[in-house]
Structure formats: C-alpha cells, structure tokens
Amino acid sequence: MFKFEELRVYKEAIEISKLVYKITKKWPNTEIYALTDQLRRAVVSIALNIAEGSGRTSKDFAHFLGIARGSCYECIAILTIARDLGYIDQADYQDLYNKIEIISKMLSSLKLSITK
C-alpha cells in the first residue's frame, strides 16, 4: 500500500469522484465533451494531485495539495453552472457542494500540517 492511500482526504476524493461519475451519467449527451468532461477531470484531479504530490518533498507536496484545492473550486463553479442549467437539482448540488467543501478544508489542514 502506498502512503497516500492511507490519507482520509484521498479516500474522500475517490468517493466524490465515483459520485460525480454516477451523477453526470444522467447529464445531456450534448455536454459529454463540455461540462461533463470538465467536471470529471476536475474531480479526479483532486485525488491525482494528492497521490502524485505524496511522493515528493514536503514543499512539493504542499504545492500539489494547493492544486488539488484549486480543483475543488473548479468543481464548485461547474456544479453551479450545471445546477443553473437544470442538470442537477438543488439537493444533489448541495450534497456535492458540502462534500467538496469538506475535502477542501481537509486539504488545507493537511497542507498546513506538512509546512510547519
């Protein structure tokens, strides 16, 4: 087992990725190469940056965690657009928003702990 696989934030990022894939399967086919693809890439980027950064120096890992956090922000913007277009309802939007917000806070805490 790789060390990053033990991180709770990594596990949460994997879970939200699976949830996003499930939800976006219902989106219009016209969005497959637009919002659907963009959201999927952004949410997967969270876990990928945690994994990649964990094999680097502490300074580099902190940088990758910052990138992962930026991907959280990107997800929120895309979800807001999707909600406004009627692709997801308010309940799904709020659920994803809350989960991403938690992951973002976890990333910030982890970054802070490794830079001290």
Question: Is the model's pLDDT at 1 over the cut of 90?
Answer: no
CB burial readout 61-94, b (16+ within 10 A) else e: bbebbebbbbbbebbbebbeebbeeebbeeebbe
> Across residues 45-54, what is the average pLDDT?
98
pLDDT at 116: 82
What is the value of pTM for the model shown? 0.96
How do the domains of the chain map onto residue ranges?
3-115
Question: Is the model's pLDDT at 51 over the cut of 90?
Answer: yes
- Model pLDDT for residues 4-47, shown as the tens digit of each residue: 999 999 999 999 999 999 999 999 999 999 999 999 999 999 99
Q: CA triplet 87, 90, 92: central angle to 5 degrees?
A: 75
pLDDT at 72: 98
Distance CA 106, CA 81 (A): 25
- Model pLDDT for residues 90-103, shown as the tens digit of each residue: 999 999 999 999 99
Distance CA 65, CA 61 (A): 6
Query: How far lies 48's CA from each of 85, 91, 103, in Å?
Result: 28, 27, 14
- Model pLDDT for residues 59-81, shown as the tens digit of each residue: 999 999 999 999 999 999 999 99
Q: Which CATH architecture has domain 3-115?
A: Up-down Bundle (1.20)
